[in-house]
Every structure is written in C-alpha cells, then in structure tokens.
Amino acid sequence: MTEDSLLLPGLSPVESLDVHARFDGGALSSDGGVLLLRELERNLKVADTLAACLHDRRDPSRTVHDYASMIRSRILAIDCGYEDCDDLDELRCDPAFKMACERLPQTGHALASQPTLSRLENTPSWRELARMGLALIDLFCTSYRTIPGHIVLDIDDTSDRTHGGQQLSLFNTHAGGYCFQPIHIYDAASQKPVCFVLRPGKRPSGQEAAQVLRHVIRRIRQNWPRVTITVRGDGHYGTPEVMELLEQTGCTYILALPGNKTLKQISHPWCDDVATRRAVTKKNKVRRFFQTRYGAKSWSKERKVIARVEATEQGSDVRYIVTNLTGRGKHLYEKIYCARGKMENLIKEHKLYTKSDRTSCHRWQANQFRLFLHTGAYWLLLLLRGAAQKRSRWRTATFETIRRTFLKIAVRVEQLKTRITIALPTACPHQNMFVLLLTRIKAQSP
C-alpha cells in the first residue's frame, strides 16, 4: 500500500500504546453477505427477468455494462442498505459486489456508476414497464415447485411522499402532503410479491382497482389455469366494479365494506342487542356477528354482508365485510378477513427496509422502474429469510435484522491465479447459521 493512504487521527492510546490507523487494508468489503444474495439471485434470475423486457438500443461496440448486470448491482445494493444510485459510485470497485455481479474482484471491470444507472432508470417505456409487471407475476408463479390449488391475494395501497414536481404526485390530506399511492399485491401464504403499480396520490377508484386485478388474475390463470383465487382488501376495494370482476372470473373475495345510512339502520337492532348483553353480563366487551343480504343501488345484485358488532363502555362499534365465501360469520371475519392484517407488515418491509419509497425521479416511468428494482430486492431478502430453518428465530426476523446479521459482514478478498479466496472474520457471531443458509440455498438451486 502507498504511504499516501488516509490516516485516521485522534484515536486514544490503549494501555499506553499508541494507535495508528490507515485506510490501507487492501481488498476488503463490509458487505460479505452479498455473496449469499448472489446465489439466491442466480436461482431466481430476477435481474435477467427485468432486463429481458428492455430493448437495448445502445451501440454494442461501446457498451461495457449490460442491462442485467446493472439491474443486479442495483438490487444487491438496495438489499445491503444502499438504496441510492449515488452509493454505487463508491461500491463499483467493492470486491464482494463485483463478485456478486459475476466479475473478478481485482481484475474485472468496475460496476456501473451513478450516471449510467440513472440513464438506465429513465430508459424503460410504459410498454416495457407493463411487460416487466407481467414478467414479475410470471416469476411469482414459477417460484413454486408445485402448483397450489388455492391462493389468497392481499391488495392494499400505501402513501409514498414526494418532494418536488414529480409526475403523478398529488396532494393527499391523509398522507399530510404530496405523494404517490402505489398498489401492492402479495400472496398471503408465502408473503411473495405479486404486483406493484405506481399511481397518483389519491384513493383508487373501483374501476382502477378492477383493472389492476383483471391483469393480475388473467396472468396468474395463464400460468395456473385451475387455481382458485381469493382476494382480500379493505374498504377501498369493496366496490361493485371489483366484486363483479371477481365473480365473472370465478374468484372468491372477502372485502371490507364502508358503512352508510342504510347499513346503520339495518344494524341498529344488533347494536341494541349487543349493548343489552354487555349490560346484563357486566362484561367489559361483548362481540357478536350477524349476516344479512344487502344490495346497494350501485350493485347489480344482493350479496352477503357480515357485521361485527362490539359493545364496550365507550359504546357500540360496527364493522362490515362483503363476501361470496360460505361459512359462519365469526370464522369468516376473525380467521379469514382479519388475517389480512399481516399485509401491513409486508408493506412495511417493502417500504421501510428496502426503501421502496425512494421514488425521487421526475418521470413516472423511472419511479415505476425503481419500484420494480425494490421488489427484486424484497424477493432476495424474503428468500434469504426463508432459507433458515422453520422453527428458527430468523424465520420471523425483520429484513433489517437479516441485513445486519448476514449481509453486513467484513471480508477480505484475494484473487489468485487458480482461485479466489475469501477470509471472513474469525469472531463472526453466527458462523454456523451462515454456513447453514448457504448450504440450504445451494440445495434449493435447480
């Protein structure tokens, strides 16, 4: 190492011995766990899937970085906590990231820089983005080794604050400022991502929600013609357009239903009954469930509505759901509908731990592409967590815990003539688990 390497001044002595520190450690990386993600990405091929939807119009003789490697570097950087393109200016020579992107750690080309990646983000057209969205649905289907007989799709939207004159940005009082309001769809059983659509910062209409679900259901049925699909959603999606679409496509649904004057009149005797039972039994809370047939003026027919009526010291509270599922109201509400609350954690992990709200580009196409990149990062973290043993505490850990434990590991990389050696810290606290994860990942590879 040269003598002009930076000196780290001001370190206090240890037992009367001076401490001298320089940035001259050589080919080191602070993200050695990215090599685990490399194996997962090689199996999943999410970067290749997204890149295949892009038409490369560049001159091949002057091209150094292909689209797949650039997408791969962005996804892996997001997983390791580097969600901005600017971070790649520092990471482009990192030996572990170069290896994860199929390049030699010392003699291989450096990864793409921020200007190149920014041009990539502004490359996709809306048609190419549509193909990417459908390709991610195909990726969800092919991720199953055996075709399931039944899946439950959870749909919801979330606020994504914007700052500046960005396309599709609208003022939203609930969000407290200008924002996007993208739609998220997940598979409830596996927590796998299905579809993500960037949209203006307002509540989706019934027609818009039905259009998104139509494309998702049609694409899933192309892969799995006989699968039974149940859709769960909150009151945003309890609209006649959504219900009619799901009935026409042979899907079941269980959706929240906003209250109105007619429903309040219907449920008034139920509220009195529950309040009387609480007063007689002197319990702190009494909950009961009632079913009825109800048809709003905008509906084409009557449908089954379930009311959850709860009486407490503060009064009565009523919640409604509409469904075409059969069964007792209590079971449908508490076991089927309320289970969609887990989706809030999935949105949190997608939005908070992969920073999918970092949609700061001006053009909506670039921000939609970023949403797909962060979805790819979500896929890899989900698979890494899923590689742990079923009863292991890592199966319920947050993405941030997985990142700090298994990705942020210092390594020394040395490229020799016949092999590449990687030295991990001897004091790594989870060595056995790290080895087990890699073993299980390789066992699951095709």
pTM of the model: 0.94
Count CA within 13 A, CB hemisphere, residue 353: 22
User: Per the domain annotation, does 22 fall within a domain?
Assistant: no
Q: Which residue, of 306, 334, 353, is where some domain finishes?
A: 353
Q: Is residue 372 part of a domain?
A: no
Three-class secondary structure of residue 134 per DSSP = helix
Q: What is the CA angle 241-245-249, rounded to 5? A: 175
pLDDT tens-place string over residues 210-231: 999 999 999 999 999 999 999 9
Q: Are residues 335 and 396 in the same domain?
A: no
In this structure, are 328 and 391 located in the same domain?
A: no
Q: Is residue 20 part of a domain?
A: no
Residues 290 and 393 in one domain: no
366 lies in a domain?
Answer: no
**Do 344 and 389 share a domain, yes or no?**
no
In a domain, residue 17? The reply is no
C-alpha 417/C-alpha 419 separation (Å) is: 6
Residue 323, domain member (yes or no): yes
Low-confidence ranges of the chain (pLDDT < 50): 1-3
The verdict on 183 and 219 lying in the same domain is: yes
Cβ neighbours around 37 below 10 Å, total:
25
Q: Answer yes or no: do 49 and 104 share one domain.
A: yes
Query: What CATH number is attached to the domain comprising 319?
Result: 3.90.350
Provide the residue range defining the domain that includes 329: 126-353
Q: How far apart are CA 160 and CA 10, in angstroms?
A: 42
Q: Are residues 146 and 279 in the same domain?
A: yes
Judgement on whether residues 294 and 414 belong to the same structural domain of the protein: no
Residue 298 and residue 334 in one domain: yes
Shared domain check, 217 and 81: no
What's the pLDDT tens digit per position in 251-310? Answer: 999 999 998 999 999 999 999 999 999 999 889 999 999 999 999 999 999 999 999 999
Residues 274 and 310 both lie in one domain: yes
Please state whether beta strands 150-157 and 228-233 pair in parallel, antiparallel, or not at all (unpaired): parallel
Provide the H-helix boundaries in 167-310.
Answer: 206-223, 240-248, 261-281
79 and 203 belong to one structural domain: no
Sole residue written with tokens 């890494």: 384
In a domain, 222, yes or no: yes
Total domains, the chain: 2
